[in-house]
Structure 1
Amino acid sequence: MPNEEVLQQIHHLIGTRYVPSVEAYITELTGRTHVRSGPVGTTDHRPERLNIDQDLTGNIVSFHFG
């Protein structure tokens, strides 16, 4: 599934509270197996990796790839 379609599938999660099970839910919806939340602590660039961005209160604010 292309990145644009992935974002369409998960856009409804923006503004919701992050819980660890959301990563499995995103994998189920999109087929993406590399889903990560929080600061990315790696130097490798994986275009298929989906990163979940949160605000200070733990709500999902955006997604990005890489």
Structure 2
Amino acid sequence: MNNEEILQALAHLIGTPYEPSVKDTIVEITGRKRVVGPREICTKELDPNRIHIRVDANSLIQGFSFN
């Protein structure tokens, strides 16, 4: 699954409240093991298989990025 396909598969999560269990859902849908939630510490190394969850000030999911 490439990044565009992942964005389409995860589109239904945008606008929903972030909770840690969302990471498990993303792993299940995408097959990617590295999912980073908001305010979680991660390495600066470039990892094209890592998915970052972006949220707004109200902890609603706004989107996803890859690196």
TM-score (norm 1): 0.92
Question: Residue 21 of structure 1 corresponds to which residue in structure 2?
Answer: 21
| Moved beyond 3 Å, runs of 4+ | none
Question: Residue 30 of structure 2 corresponds to which residue in structure 1?
Answer: 30
1:60 pairs with 2:61: yes
Question: Residue 50 of structure 1 corresponds to which residue in structure 2?
Answer: 51
* 1:21-47 CA distance string (max 9 Å, x none): 000001101101111112454211101
- Which ranges in structure 2 are unaligned for 5 or more consecutive residues? none
Question: Residue 8 of structure 1 corresponds to which residue in structure 2?
Answer: 8
Instruction: Please identify, of 20-29 and 41-50, the stretch whose mean Cα deviation from structure 2 is larger.
Output: 41-50
- Percent identity over the alignment is 44
| Aligned mates of 2:42, 2:27 — CA distance in 1 | 20
TM-score (norm 2): 0.91
CA RMSD of aligned residues (A): 1.1
| Aligned mates of 2:42, 2:29 — CA distance in 1 | 25
Letter of the 1:29 partner, please give it. I
